[in-house]
Structure 1
Amino acid sequence: MVIHSSEEEQVEALKAWWAENGRSAIFGVVLGLGAIFGYRAWQAHEVAQAEAASALYQQVLMASQQPGSDEIRRQAEALVQQYPGSTYAVFGNMLLAKAAVDAGDLEKAATLLGTALKENKDDVVGLELRLRMAQVQSAQDKHEDALATLSIASGKDYLAAFDELRGDIEGRRGNVDQARAAYERALTAAREAGTDVTILELKLDNLGRAQKS
């Protein structure tokens, strides 16, 4: 590195540097400012997109209060198509899957839930999706697939629901001991969470009567 001994030499060095690098320096500043303003524009766009998606999702929820209406399907499809990969699109696919189940189209419901699972980025929503997917798979008599879907470690709030469904599946397969064990785990988790256990107690009671008969 050259050390300049006088102010004149420093000025001359600066002039030489500017002559050689001035344009690229200006270009770099312009690029830097462009990046800043570009990022801000991108942020504003993202906020606008999120607000629009939220508004559309509210319309979907309002439509869902009218059972049997085609409006919920149209709105949910618009949500998925206009905001792919977003959390709102995941919710849209969940609603479309429910509509497919109500229409008896389990294959379509499984496909929609599979798409939602791939696009989902939220752990809690992921647990709800796995629960619904396992319910659909069990209804399709794909019990092994359903149990595999439930095999992921569940969050505390889903322990009872996951084990209750495991009990249902094992009961359908005729595995009484496994069903009872799952129901008992679900019962313990539900009591610890302070949720109603009436249905679980009935399932355990019915399981005992079925075994005796």
Structure 2
Amino acid sequence: MAFDLQEQEQIAELKAWWKDWGKYLAAVLAAAGIGYLGWQGWSAYQTSDAQSAAEIYAKAELLGNDAAKLKAEAQKLQNEYGSTGFAARATLLAAKASASNGDFKEAALQLQWVIGHAGEAGLRDAARLRLAAVNIDLKQYDAALAALKGREEAASTALFAEASGDVLAEKGDVAGARDAYKQALAKLDKNAPNYPFVEVKLAALGNV
């Protein structure tokens, strides 16, 4: 597929944007439901322990990207209220802050805790997508692919396919990335916010 100069420039700009932000989009989209899941968690756990956990989580939400404080709050929830969904949610916040501060190894450890302990499949899926993105930053491509293997929620299938394409593209497996992006497009609604970006990523691979 040939592109004229303007199209090539647009693709180059989008590729540059994706290099900085694209690998996080799938994780962001998956995590967008965490706030709603938080409300579900509040409704489901009307016990004193859960209420205490919710109070700690609410405080954690106000900490922004303070990785050290978020880590402390997350660990408190893990140790004292690990069976509640708020522990996993706080740990996701801590992992995000760690990654934002460039501590990808710490972020990976925190995300692995969520994957191993979260009771809600949606939270585990969000953590797996984020772990794949973190491992891309660490250039641990096989580890990134391993994070994406296994069963995910049906609603996350397209995001996992797209994330696999991102990893394979970074790894240099153009054919594998192309197949993964095609799978993502086949599963995405054409009105989905990331649909056009997946199209661009697929086109940028060329037809070789």
Q: TM-score, normalised by structure 2?
A: 0.69
Counterparts of 2:198 and 2:71, CA distance in 1: 33
Q: Does 1:79 align with 2:62?
A: no
Counterparts of 2:201 and 2:152, CA distance in 1: 22
Contact 1:86 1:119 in 2 (8 A): no
Q: 1:188 aligns with which of 161, 186, 189?
A: 186
Partner of 1:123: 121
CA gap of 1:69–1:102, structure 2 versus 1, over 3 A, is closer
CA gap of 1:71–1:144, structure 2 versus 1, over 3 A, is closer
Q: Does 1:174 align with 2:137?
A: no
Amino acid at match of 2:156: Y
Partner of 1:22: none
Amino acid at match of 1:103: N
- Structure showing greater radius of gyration is 1
Amino acid at match of 2:162: E
Match of 2:102, SS?
coil
| 1:98 Cα deviation after fit | 0.9
Partner of 1:51: 51
Match of 1:208, SS?
coil
- The two structures, once aligned, show a CA RMSD in angstroms of 2.2
Out of 183-192 and 166-175, give the one that drifted further. Answer: 183-192
Partner of 2:22: none
CA gap of 1:123–1:68, structure 2 versus 1, over 3 A, is closer
Q: Which runs of 5 or more structure 2 residues have no equivalent in the other structure?
A: 1-45
**Could you give the per-residue CA deviations for residues 160-205 of structure 1, whole angstroms, max 9, x where no partner exists?**
211111111111121111111101111121126x412121111112
Counterparts of 2:186 and 2:107, CA distance in 1: 31
Q: 1:94 aligns with which of 81, 92, 95?
A: 92
**Percent pairwise identity:** 27
CA gap of 1:98–1:184, structure 2 versus 1, over 3 A, is same
Counterparts of 1:71 and 1:175, CA distance in 2: 39
Counterparts of 1:87 and 1:116, CA distance in 2: 10
**Could you give the per-residue CA deviations for residues 11-53 of structure 1, whole angstroms, max 9, x where no partner exists?**
xxxxxxxxxxxxxxxxxxxxxxxxxxxxxxxxxxx81111111
Partner of 1:109: 107
Aligned length: 162
CA gap of 1:130–1:142, structure 2 versus 1, over 3 A, is same
Partner of 2:160: 162
